[in-house]
Structure 1
Amino acid sequence: MTLSIPDFSGLRVLVAGDAMLDEYWFGDASRISPEAPVPVVRNSSSERRPGGAANVALNVAALGASVRLVAIVGRDERGDALQRALGDAGVQCDFVRSPKLPTIHKLRVLARNQQLIRLDAEQPLDGCAAELGRRFDSALAGIDIVLLSDYGKGSLSRVEELIRACLTAKIRVLVDPKGQEFRRYGGASVLTPNQSEFETVVGPWPQEDEFLRKAEALRAELGLQLLLVTRGRRGMTLVSGAAPPVGLAAQAREVFDVTGAGDTVLALLGASLAAGMPPPDAAALANLGAGIVVGKIGVATVSRAELSLALHRRGSGGRGLVELDELAAMAADAKARGARIVMTNGCFDILHAGHVSYLEEAKALGDHLIVAVNDDESVRRLKGAPRPITPLSDRMAVLAGLAAVDWVVPFSEDTPASVVERIVPDVLVKGGDWQPEDIAGSETVLANGGQVRSVGFKPGRSTSALIRSIRELPE
């Protein structure tokens, strides 16, 4: 399966459900309390993050879509903190602010990334569900897709009414369910239970074919278009009725925390379907995103840059063909995670062994390699007619297929100086026939504490020499 990441920027997504504020205390535990047989944690730092339906909305916003969140929170400091965090991420909050019910809060204490205890503060939210429904109905106009995140806290106690409103408006609605009564979700477009939730409803199965039979039976009974069961180490299974079931292997290399993985699945699946991806591709992209977030601590989001890099690494799409604005965001995200960015540039007209060796040597200087490529007109200015032999789209596609290359971006000027200024790589590289001081953009990189390097140059390996050889071949 070859995947690509769709453009989510034009989507309008409505999220509703149980929003909460997740808090994390991080520290070390080196001794046992003299008061009780429990570890003593010396708190060194703390974080607050949107959780539940708020995390779903945050995941949608991280993809670049417009998102509105309808949820119930308290008229308290935690509700204010949740609204600020979401607003800073571009989420439009439509909150029912209750003076009596507190904002749902989960406090997790971790020592050396191991969760020791979780403390929950919450009360049932059923009493405000009718007001949430009114807010929901008012928000439906112009929406492309609806995501309902049910954590069983009461916000979606009238979920049947919300689904009917979506059906009336002809808007697809995806539900991440909770509890043992799935009939209340009947008529939804998609349901995304985890394996434990699914088993609670349909009972155990001795063999895989029985699991598939139960999944199709539940899908048909509830009138769903799709049923996606997330299965932990076994990945995911997508059942549609119209086609054979699709099994997706787990993507995580190392699992640190499964908290919030279902939020990411719901957000990515919904946004991908709304963007026009076929269901198997949308599920595969959601599976990829889940594999990324479980490698993080706590509730988390996945960015387009992380998805693109993950696709590139597994060689199944997302091969790094980007425009400058998208590249700038990806590079900034990678730097924020401590990655070292290397950049080079050239015409790369007829790729040869010298290019491959040079790019591999450049990649060895950091974590991610950006290749900026002259467009056709700038090649003609530099090399003369009839160059380039190979058009820009082909040159970029071939470069993006190399294992050493992470991102490929075009530029139209004679030099990539403006691209260098926008990206500010940690290392700027050209071939060994260039002096560092002559490399375009070197001043920008050096001024920001980076390095400018010349790497290996293979004598006799050049596009011009190849063209001469081809012209000398007998007809």
Structure 2
Amino acid sequence: MSLSHISFSKVLFKELHVDASLHNKRGPFMQKTPLFNLQKPVAIIGDVMLDIYLKGKSYKISPEAPVPVVRFNENQYTLGGAGNVALNLKKLGVDLTLFGLIGDDEHGKRLIQLLDTLDIKHHLIVTKQPTITKMRIVDHQHQLLRVDYEHPFQYDDSIRLIDSMIEHLTASHLCIISDYAKGTVALPQKLIEQPCQTIVDPKGHCYEKYQGAFLVTPNLKEFQEASQSNETHIDQLIQSGSTFRQKMNIQNLLITLSERGMLLINDKYTLHQPVIDSSQVSDVTGAGDTVIATLTACLSSNIDFEKALQITNHAASLVVKQFGTAYVCPNELSQSLLSKSTLHNKTRSLSTLISILKEHQQQNQKIVFTNGCFDIIHPGHIALLEKAKSFGDILVVAINSDDSIQRLKGPHRPINTLTSRVAVMAGLQAVDWVITFDDDTPLQLIRAITPDVLVKGGDYSVDTIVGAQDVINNGGEVKVVPTLDNYSTTSLIKSVLEVE
């Protein structure tokens, strides 16, 4: 029942049409079509954790015991558990509130500081138990040791938290239970009984406590333990999963299968979504948090399960390539979705693109790089791109993300979303590859790609072009292409507004 790549692309890259009657905060005359059309707020309750990474370099074996000695370099503090789910949702643009229990200690204060810095709304009750903390000692990207600070929370504190959340919930909410079996959610049934859809990331062998939930998302090992089965083949999992789902009165059962993707079972159909890319797995820490967050964002946008699983699978494939708990941004997710589309075969992740470009350079082909917002493509852009291509063999175009453009040009820009701008750019004959960036400048991209020719359009001098010195130091060239008169995105927007 899977969608073809073409039909999926049509959903994601819906055409934009000019309508003078449309006015919104993102643009004066064009309706935006973002990846998510978020409509439902989300409330998360679960075991909130602080992840601490003690980073350093091991340089010898201790004379005291056969263990490595690590020379300390830096501390890194990140949100873990239900906090990481909240972080993933926040980065996807979801309106959310996090409910949890913490201790009256330094780790609890650090956790609140992280949430406040990230502008994540929260309701945390301070208890007599310590804040759940996982401290990891890391040499580069290799975890040497983990130390856990935790003690099960008291039942009364859990019920007090659940009651506070119920006061907050409305029928329009989506409710996430992120259960790590630390005592935060002692009675999930009280939440499942509320008039809103409840999504559960489960823990433990007893799933009776999740009866009636809208969606439950165990991994394969968790499902096998809960269902007391050893099936691994997809057909067998469908059969045992269907029986288990009915027995537990769960509306939708989603079993995540690591390198085999994910399997959804409900009373209408089953869907197996294969994995996107299992070749570059760095760390699976927090991948389940990304899955439940992305899937919830899809449900908040009323995206059907088939498309939602495809989007969620892309998100999971991105975070497992990163070390430690991680999140995915709409910009990065859109890029991944574009790269797998048969309609747009000119986009790749940065690491993959670098490998491809290195092969071209080894064959004495020149790599040309240019960048811009490219919000509304006009003849000036086309002339620039065609001239840039003439300077070498392979043209790479870097495009600012939506957030980057807003910071540079104000809250009413861009007119076209990143996905739309990338789709248009990928359709131009002169362009070989398209990459996006979220920074204010493409300096880090230029340093990573090391182009042979850097091209910029407009009234620039070489010493004012971002990345020019880096390219020159690497033996490359910098070219300035004069712009065509009477063509600019700003003037086009102004002209349309004057017609209105």
TM > 0.5 between the two? Answer: yes
Counterpart of 2:464 in structure 1 is 446
Counterpart of 1:194 in structure 2 is 219
1:219 aligned residue (245, 252, 255): 245
- Deviation track 1:263-318 (CA, whole Å, cap 9, x = no partner) reads 11010001111111111111221111111111111111111111012112222689
Amino acid of the residue matched to residue 226 of structure 1? N
SS across alignment from 1:406: strand
**Structure 2 counterparts to residues 74-113 of structure 1, below 5 A:** 74-98=103-127, 100-113=128-141
Separation in 2 of the partners of 1:370 and 1:356?
Answer: 20
The 1:318/1:273 distance shift into structure 2, 3 A limit, reads farther
Separation in 1 of the partners of 2:266 and 2:145?
Answer: 39
Counterpart of 1:157 in structure 2 is 186
Counterpart of 2:359 in structure 1 is none
The 1:50/1:318 distance shift into structure 2, 3 A limit, reads farther
SS across alignment from 2:458: coil
Verify the 8 A CA contact 1:436 1:453 in the aligned structure 2: yes
Structure 1 residue 355, shift from structure 2 partner: 6.0
Counterpart of 1:44 in structure 2 is 73
- Deviation track 1:215-241 (CA, whole Å, cap 9, x = no partner) reads 122222223332111111112112233
Structure with bigger RCO (C-alpha 8 Å, 6+ apart): 2
State the TM-score, normalizing by the size of structure 2.
Answer: 0.70
2:339 aligned residue (313, 317, 321): 313
2:257 aligned residue (187, 207, 231): 231
Amino acid of the residue matched to residue 218 of structure 2? P
Separation in 1 of the partners of 2:397 and 2:274?
Answer: 28
Verify the 8 A CA contact 2:331 2:401 in the aligned structure 1: no
Separation in 2 of the partners of 1:17 and 1:47?
Answer: 22
Counterpart of 1:325 in structure 2 is none
The 1:42/1:219 distance shift into structure 2, 3 A limit, reads same
Separation in 1 of the partners of 2:343 and 2:302?
Answer: 17
The 1:93/1:244 distance shift into structure 2, 3 A limit, reads closer
Residues 1:28 and 2:57 aligned together: yes
181-190 vs 356-365, which moves further: 356-365
Verify the 8 A CA contact 1:261 1:290 in the aligned structure 2: yes
Counterpart of 1:53 in structure 2 is 82
Separation in 2 of the partners of 1:104 and 1:317?
Answer: 46
SS across alignment from 2:290: helix
Aligned-residue RMSD, C-alpha: 3.9
SS across alignment from 2:205: coil
SS across alignment from 1:228: strand
The 1:6/1:77 distance shift into structure 2, 3 A limit, reads same
Structure 1 residue 75, shift from structure 2 partner: 1.7
Residues 1:174 and 2:199 aligned together: yes
The 1:304/1:206 distance shift into structure 2, 3 A limit, reads closer
Separation in 2 of the partners of 1:364 and 1:318?
Answer: 17
The 1:278/1:356 distance shift into structure 2, 3 A limit, reads farther
The 1:441/1:51 distance shift into structure 2, 3 A limit, reads farther
Structure 1 residue 112, shift from structure 2 partner: 2.5
Residues 1:270 and 2:296 aligned together: yes
Counterpart of 1:140 in structure 2 is 169
Verify the 8 A CA contact 1:58 1:301 in the aligned structure 2: yes
Amino acid of the residue matched to residue 66 of structure 1? D
Separation in 1 of the partners of 2:323 and 2:113?
Answer: 22
Identity of aligned residues (%): 30
SS across alignment from 1:305: helix
Verify the 8 A CA contact 2:422 2:434 in the aligned structure 1: no
Amino acid of the residue matched to residue 50 of structure 2? L
Verify the 8 A CA contact 2:396 2:433 in the aligned structure 1: no
The 1:360/1:368 distance shift into structure 2, 3 A limit, reads farther
SS across alignment from 1:245: strand
Counterpart of 2:99 in structure 1 is 70
Separation in 2 of the partners of 1:436 and 1:232?
Answer: 43
Separation in 1 of the partners of 2:244 and 2:392?
Answer: 53
Structure 1 residue 69, shift from structure 2 partner: 0.2
Amino acid of the residue matched to residue 89 of structure 1? L
Verify the 8 A CA contact 2:369 2:455 in the aligned structure 1: no
Separation in 1 of the partners of 2:388 and 2:242?
Answer: 53
- Deviation track 1:329-366 (CA, whole Å, cap 9, x = no partner) reads xx9xxxxxxxx9831569566x9999679559789576
Verify the 8 A CA contact 1:22 1:105 in the aligned structure 2: yes
Counterpart of 1:326 in structure 2 is none
Verify the 8 A CA contact 2:61 2:68 in the aligned structure 1: yes
Separation in 2 of the partners of 1:220 and 1:363?
Answer: 59
2:41 aligned residue (12, 15, 20): 12
Verify the 8 A CA contact 1:341 1:366 in the aligned structure 2: yes
- For structure 2, the 5+ residue unaligned runs are 13-33, 351-367, 403-418, 447-453, 470-476, 483-500
Verify the 8 A CA contact 2:295 2:312 in the aligned structure 1: yes
Counterpart of 2:146 in structure 1 is 118
State the TM-score, normalizing by the size of structure 1.
Answer: 0.73
The 1:206/1:150 distance shift into structure 2, 3 A limit, reads closer
Amino acid of the residue matched to residue 106 of structure 1? K
Structure 1 residue 242, shift from structure 2 partner: 1.1
Structure 1 residue 147, shift from structure 2 partner: 1.1
Amino acid of the residue matched to residue 130 of structure 1? I
- Deviation track 1:123-168 (CA, whole Å, cap 9, x = no partner) reads 0014311111111112213753111100010111111111112xxx
**Structure 2 counterparts to residues 382-461 of structure 1, below 5 A:** 397-401=423-427, 404-406=432-434, 423-426=440-443, 439-440=457-458, 442=460, 446=464, 448=466, 450=468, 453-454=478-479
Amino acid of the residue matched to residue 460 of structure 2? S
The 1:269/1:363 distance shift into structure 2, 3 A limit, reads farther
Separation in 2 of the partners of 1:10 and 1:87?
Answer: 24
Separation in 2 of the partners of 1:195 and 1:37?
Answer: 36
Structure 1 residue 395, shift from structure 2 partner: 9.7
Structure 1 residue 319, shift from structure 2 partner: 9.1
- Deviation track 1:18-39 (CA, whole Å, cap 9, x = no partner) reads 0010000111113211111111
Counterpart of 1:376 in structure 2 is none
Separation in 1 of the partners of 2:231 and 2:338?
Answer: 37
Separation in 1 of the partners of 2:301 and 2:84?
Answer: 20
Separation in 2 of the partners of 1:214 and 1:62?
Answer: 35
Separation in 1 of the partners of 2:50 and 2:436?
Answer: 39
Amino acid of the residue matched to residue 110 of structure 1? V
